[in-house]
Amino acid sequence: MSATSTSEFIWFNGKLIPWQEANVHVMSHALHYGSSVFEGIRAYVTPNGTCIFRLKEHIDRLFNSAKIYRFPLAYTKEEIMEACKAVVRENKLESGYIRPLAFMGNVGLGLSFPKDAKADVMVGAIPWGAYLGEEGLQKGVRVGVSSWNRLAPNTIPTEAKAGGNYLSSILIANEAHQNGYDEAIALDVNGYVSEGSGENIFVIKDKVLYTAPFTCGLLPGITRASVITLARDLGYEVVEQRIPREMVYLADELFFSGTAAEITPIASVDGIDVGAGCRGPITKHIQETFFAYVKGESEDRHGWLTRV
């Protein structure tokens, strides 16, 4: 299923309502200024029923994003976590993609919010398969280095997962597709590797995993953090450091990580094959370990699965 799929119910400001009735006013602040923060969360079918992967960490990040932008939320973390479970359950989804969103509604057109304004909150859930395609999970995707840089420090905070930030991602993704690539790698303002349009990146060289630090203009990905933990559990060394552009051309393996992308190998960059031009053995090992974990086929030793 694609990201254009629908479902029966959406949780909107404390109530489950039919999908078609979840509407907002055209004068909503978020439509005009991008004043929204959101999350992408996956639920997987497991032997113990449907479970949401790292629900608490996602909702913690939602609230952190709201804190940075000073969005006043009328609901608690516990209420929104329960809403995430409810939309999966009531839409009868065994697996799927969950989208919590907090946004400033019809609060006027001033850039600052009125003192008594509260953000609207919704949680939707849809069926959604592999973001970059099932074939991409197996064979890897073709990417190009974007001409668009990621956001500079002290301009727009990249540690917030905010709607307005993703105008940058739209430019990066559209350019990649127009140039015939599946996805792109964006550099930071200093020319170091940052992330994809909506994914973090790992470089593998001599059996060591490298990933860029948060100071390179990337979102602190929850799947990224999970990969670091799982890779170290498997005995791999993981290093967070600045990654020069040429390092991706000389890598033994590359892969994207993200809630939507999950673990997607990168087969080539700018037409240059990565390693053998297909998924490498370490990427395969980490990918299989990740999917075994989220699908409940291995022990939940880190407490990352929440039953619906």
Count of residues in the chain = 308
For the chain, which residues make up each domain, given as ranges?
Answer: 9-126, 134-295
pLDDT tens by residue, 32-90:
999 999 999 999 999 999 999 999 999 999 999 999 999 889 999 999 999 999 999 99
Distance between CA atoms of residues 23 and 19, nearest Å: 9
Distance between CA atoms of residues 20 and 29, nearest Å: 21
Q: Which CATH class is domain 9-126?
A: alpha beta
pLDDT attached to residue 214: 95
Distance between CA atoms of residues 43 and 89, nearest Å: 11
pLDDT attached to residue 289: 98
pTM of the model: 0.95
Per DSSP bridges, beta strands 49-53 and 305-307 are: antiparallel
Q: 161 an active-site residue?
A: yes
pLDDT attached to residue 128: 87
pLDDT attached to residue 5: 80
pLDDT attached to residue 116: 87
* pLDDT higher than threshold 80 for residue 132: no
- Cα distances (angstroms) measured from residue 268 to each of 94, 102, 136, 215: 34, 37, 12, 26
Do the beta carbons of residue 254 and residue 273 sit within 8 Å?
no
Reported as a pLDDT band with limits 50, 70 and 90, residue 114 is confident
Reported as a pLDDT band with limits 50, 70 and 90, residue 3 is low
pLDDT attached to residue 240: 98
- Of 115, 161, 205, 284, the active-site residue reads 161
Yes or no: is domain 134-295 CATH 3.20.10.10? yes
Tokens of 27: 């004068």
Reported as a pLDDT band with limits 50, 70 and 90, residue 183 is very high
